[in-house]
Structure 1
Amino acid sequence: MEYKKNDILTVTIEDMGSDGEGIGKVDGYTLFIKDAVIGDVVTCKIMKAKKNYAYARLEKVMEPSSLRTAPVCKYHKQCGGCQLQAMSYEAQLKYKQNKVRNNLIRIGGFDKEFVDHIMEPVVGMENPYHYRNKAQFPVGTDKDGNLITGFYAGRTHDIIANTDCALGVKENKEILETVLRYMKENGITAYDEKTGKGIVRHILIRKGFTSGEIMVCLVINTSKPLPAQEKLIGLLQEIPGMTSVSVSINTERTNVIMGKEVRTIWGEDTITDTIHVRNTSDFSLTDKGISFHISPLSFYQVNPVQTEKLYSLALEYAGLTGQETVWDLYCGIGTISLFLAGKAKRVYGVEIVPQAIEDARKNAEFNQITNVEFFTGKAEEVLPEKYEQEGIHADVIVVDPPRKGCDQACLDTMLKMQPERIVYVSCDSATLARDLKVLCDGGYEIVRGRAVDQFGGTVHVESVVLMTRKDG
C-alpha cells in the first residue's frame, strides 16, 4: 500500500532513533514520530512521505508505554532542548547505553559480544534536573510586542517564553525576570534578527556549583554603555551569589551568540568553580579537586557533577603511576590536563582556541601545578611537530575532541607515537566509533568503555574508552 502526506495511521512504537524519535512500522513501512516512546501505541499524521519511510507528527497516544512518564516541563514538545523528557529516567539511561553500543557495532564494525564484554554500566545522575551550570537565553518580543526570553522552538528561531527551565539552576528565573523588568522600565528594546535593530540579544547565566558564584552577561547590539546601566547592576547585585555582571558586544548580523569583546560592568571578570576527583567504585567525593576561573567565553562542561565522574573515569583509565608523559589533545581550558597532572610526570595540552590556552595556563598557576605545558594550535599540527622535531613522546594520550571527532592527521600521529594507552573521551558516539576503528586497525585494542549521562532529558551522551597497544 502507498502512503502519502496527511494520512492518519495507528502504529506501535518499537524502537527509537538517534535523535529520540519513536520508530514504528505499518505493513513494513517505517514511520519516524517525534515525542513517541518505545511501547506507545499512537495515532500519527504523515508530514513528509518517502518511498520506504515517512516522518509523522504525533496526534494522540492511544495506549501509553510503561516507559512513559509525565514531563516536568510543559514546553518540552515545542522546545528543541529536551527530546526524552516523556521517557522515564531509567529508560533514558538504557536508550543511551544502547545508542553507544549500537554505534560501536554499526559504525565501528565491532562484534556484538565483544562490545557487550568491554562496555561497563552507564553512569546516571542522582537528579536529572537543574544540572546545567550555564544557559544562554535569547531575548525578543511576542506577537503583542511584550518582552520575552526563553528558548528557541525546535529547528526555529521562534522564542518560547520560559524563565524557569527544568534543566537550569533555580536562580535563572529571578535573574531573567529581573533583566526583563529592567528593560521594560527603562525602554530598552530586544534585538530583532530580521531588522538587525534592538539592543539586548541574549542573556548568559553561569553558576559555580561549588563556589555558589553567579555570572550574568548580556549580549548587546551596541558598543555604547547600556542605558540606565546602574539600575540593572543595582537589581542584580541583590541576588545572592552574584559575582560578575558583564556585557558582550555583538553588532554583527550573525547567529553566533557571543561577541568578541566582553566588558565587565560590575564585580569580577570571572567566577570560580571546582571539579573534584571522585572514587570510581561508587563516585563518592574525595578531598582532591581542581579550581577554575571561568569567563563568559570559557568552555566549561555544563554538568559539573557528571563531569567529575567522567574525568575521574578518564583518570582511572589512564593508569598513571607518576612516571608517565601524557598528551591531552583538544584540552580546552585544561580541565582534564590538570586532573591528570596530579598523577603524571608531565602533561602537555593542545587546543586551537588561544583564549582557552590562556585560561588553561592561568588555571594551572591558580592551582600551583607546574608539571603541565600548553600549546596553541591544531592537535594534528602541534603533535607531529613536537614528536618529530623535538622528540617529545607519549606514554598516554588523552583525547577529547569536538563532536566531529579526531582529524585523520591527528589519528595518524597518535599511531606513529605508539603510546601504551589511549583514553578517548567523546561527546558523539558515532564519530567515536569511526575513530576507534581507525585506531584498532592501527594496532590498538579496546579494553574498557563506559557511557556517562551528562544531559538528562536529551539524546546526548558522553563516553570514555580505554585502548592499549596490542603488543604492549
Structure 2
Amino acid sequence: MICDHFDAGRCRSCSWLGTPYDAQLVAKQRQVEDLLRGHRVAWDAPVASPQLGFRNKAKMVVHGTVAEPTLGILNPAGAGIDLRDCPLHTAGIRTALPVLAAFVTRAALTPYDVPSRSGELKHLLVTESPDGELMVRFVLRSQEPVARIRKHLPWLQAELPEVVVASVNLQPEHKAVLEGEREIPLSRQETLTMRLTGLALHLRPQSFFQTNTPMAAELYRLGREWVAAVSPRSVWDLYSGVGGFALAIAGTGADVTGIEISREAVASATLSSMEMGSMEMGSMEMGSMEMGPTETGAAGQGAVRFEAGDATAYAVGSTAPPDLVVVNPPRRGIGPELAGWLESSGVGHVLYSSCNAQTLAKDLDAMPSLRAVRGRLLDMFPNTAHYEVLTLLERA
C-alpha cells in the first residue's frame, strides 16, 4: 500500500505499512500462537483484511483556523496534520471530509488549540454504514457554537445527503479524552444502521462498533457458526455492545441474554432486536441459515433480551449458568473475578473474542478446566501490530 503521509513521515499510525501484507499476517499469527502455545489451540487460517478503504470511522482532530482548518492528527509540537485523504477510510468518508472542512469555515467553528487551550471544535467523528449513510458528530468544548451548527446544517445535508445522523458531543475538559458524556442530537434520525452478514445493527452516537466492517461481518459469522456446532440452548453475551454476537447467535435457536455496561449500546441492541422480531420468518439470511423473529422465539429462532449492567457482577450474582457464554471484553480482558467464575461455573463452552492476545492468554491460564479447542485470527487492524482473535473454549 502506498501512502504519501507515511512516506513523508507526517503520519506513522500504520506502523507496519512498510512490511508486505503477507508477512504482516504471518507475524501476527506467530505472535498469537506463541502467546497461547500452552493451550494447544487448533488454529484455522487467519482472515485477511483489505488494506485500503476498510475503516468505517474517522476520528479527526480539528486544528488550524476557521478559514483553513486541518482534519487529522497533531504533530509533536501540537500543530495540525491534515489527513482528510487517508486511504484507510471508506470512500464515503474520504468524500465527506473536504465538505466537512468547508462546513467548519461556513459555520465559523473555531478549531481547538491545545497549547493555548482556546477554540471550540475539538474533533470530527464520522462513521459510514455499509449502505453509504453517514453519522457526523461535532465534539465541542461548549454549547456556544451549537446554534450556528444548527443554522448551517441544511447546507451540509444538501451537500452531503448521505448524512442521516448528526449530533454534538460536549467535551469541556482539557485532557486527552476523545468525547464527553453529553450528546445533543441535531437530526431527526438518531441511529445509523450497520447492515452486515444478515444483521441490521443500530448504532447510536456513543455506541462502540468495530471499525473494520468486513472483519466485523466475518467475526459475527464465525461466532454464529461455531456456536451452532455445539448447539447450546441458553447463551449469555457478556460485553454485548450493540448486539452483534447476540443477534447472530439467536439464529442458531438459542435463547440469548446480552449484558452491556453502556446504556446507549443496550438501546441500540434492543432497537435492532425489536425490528428483527417484527420481520417475517425467513426475511433475513445469515450465511446459509435464515433468521426470523428475535423476540417471539419462532421456530428455529431463539429469544433475545438485553440488559444494562456490569458483566462480571451479572455473572457472579446469577443463580444458574447458561450452556455457553460469549465474552468480548476491552483490551484489559475479563479479569480474575469473571475468569474464576467461569472456571467454577460449570458452563460447557465459552466463545472468547479478544483484541489483546496477552490478556487472553492470562485469562485462559485462569480457566484450566476450559480448554481452547479452536482459534482464528482476524486482521481487524491491518498495517499495525493489532488484531482480533476468536477462540472457542470447551470444558474438559
Q: Fold conserved (TM > 0.5)? A: yes
In structure 2, the partner of 1:366 is 275
Alpha carbons 1:164, 1:172 under 8 Å: kept: no
User: What CA distance in whole angstroms lies between the structure 2 residues aligned with 1:156 and 1:431?
Assistant: 34
Decide whether the 8 Å contact of 2:202 with 2:269 is kept in 1. Answer: no
Q: Which residue of 2 aligns with 1:436?
A: 364
Q: Which moved more, 1:324-333 or 1:189-198?
A: 189-198
Match of 1:258 among 159, 179, 192: 179
Q: 1:373 to 1:121 in 2, by over 3 A?
A: same
Query: Would the alpha carbon gap of residues 158 and 75 (structure 1) be closer, same or farther in structure 2, given more than 3 Å must change?
Result: farther
Counterpart position of 2:317: 385
1:120 lines up with 2:44 in the alignment: yes
Identity %: 28
Q: Tell me the residue number matched to 2:20.
A: 88
Question: In the alignment, which residue of structure 1 is the partner of 2:287?
Answer: none
Q: 1:344-373, CA deviations, whole angstroms, 9 ceiling, x for partnerless residues?
A: 331111122222222222221122121122
Structure with the larger strand share:
1
Q: Could you give the per-residue CA deviations for residues 34-56 of structure 1, whole angstroms, max 9, x where no partner exists?
A: xxxxxxxxxxxxxxxxxxxxxxx
Q: Does 1:75 align with 2:1?
A: no
Distance (whole Å) between structure 1 residues aligned to residue 157 and residue 25 of structure 2: 38
Partner-residue secondary structure (3-state), 1:223: coil
TM-score normalised by structure 2 residue count:
0.87
Aligned partner letter, 1:270: T
Which residue in the other structure is 1:246 paired with?
A: 167
| Aligned residue in 2 for 1:214 | 134
Q: 2-side partners of 1:79 and 1:339: how far apart?
A: 37
Do the aligned partners of residues 345 and 165 (structure 1) sit closer, same or farther apart at CA in structure 2, a change above 3 Å counting? same
Give 5+ residue unaligned stretches, structure 1: 1-69, 277-288
| Structure 1 residue 191, shift from structure 2 partner | 0.9
Q: How does 1:45-444 map to 2 (within 5 A)?
A: 71-75=2-6, 77-105=9-37, 109-110=38-39, 114-115=40-41, 118-125=42-49, 127-141=50-64, 146-153=68-75, 158-209=79-130, 211-224=131-144, 225-227=146-148, 229-276=150-197, 289-319=198-228, 324-368=233-277, 369-370=294-295, 371-387=303-319, 391=320, 393-440=321-368, 443-444=369-370
Aligned counterpart, 2:387: 461
Offset, 1:467: 1.4
Give the structure, 1 or 2, with the largest relative contact order (CA under 8 Å, sep 6 or more): 2
Distance 1:73 1:166 in 2: 10
Deviation at 1:240, TM superposition (A): 4.5
Is the partner of 1:244 in helix, strand or coil? strand
**Structure of greater Rg:** 1
Q: What CA deviation, in whole Å up to 9, does each residue of 1:432-471 have, x standing for no partner?
A: 111112212xx1222111101111112111001111111x
Query: Does the aligned pair in 2 maintain the 1:178–1:236 contact within 8 Å?
Result: no
Seen in structure 2, the aligned counterparts of structure 1 residues 412 and 162 have a Cα distance that, compared at 3 Å, is: same
- In the alignment of these two chains, the number of paired residues is 371
State the shift of 1:274 in Å: 1.2
What amino acid sits opposite 1:385 in the alignment? Answer: G
Gaps of 5+ in 2: 278-293, 296-302
Q: Give the 3-state SS of the residue equivalent to 1:197 in structure 2.
A: coil
Moved over 4 A (4+): 155-158, 320-323
The equivalent of 1:64 in structure 2 is: none
Counting helix residues as a fraction of each chain, which structure ranks higher?
2
TM-score (norm: length of structure 1): 0.73
Q: Check the 8 A contact 1:327/1:398 in 2, yes or no.
A: yes
SS of equivalent to 2:317: helix
Tell me by how many angstroms 1:167 deviates: 0.7
Aligned-residue CA RMSD in angstroms? 2.3
Q: 1:80 offset after TM fit, Å?
A: 4.3
Question: What's the offset of the Cα at 1:382?
Answer: 0.7
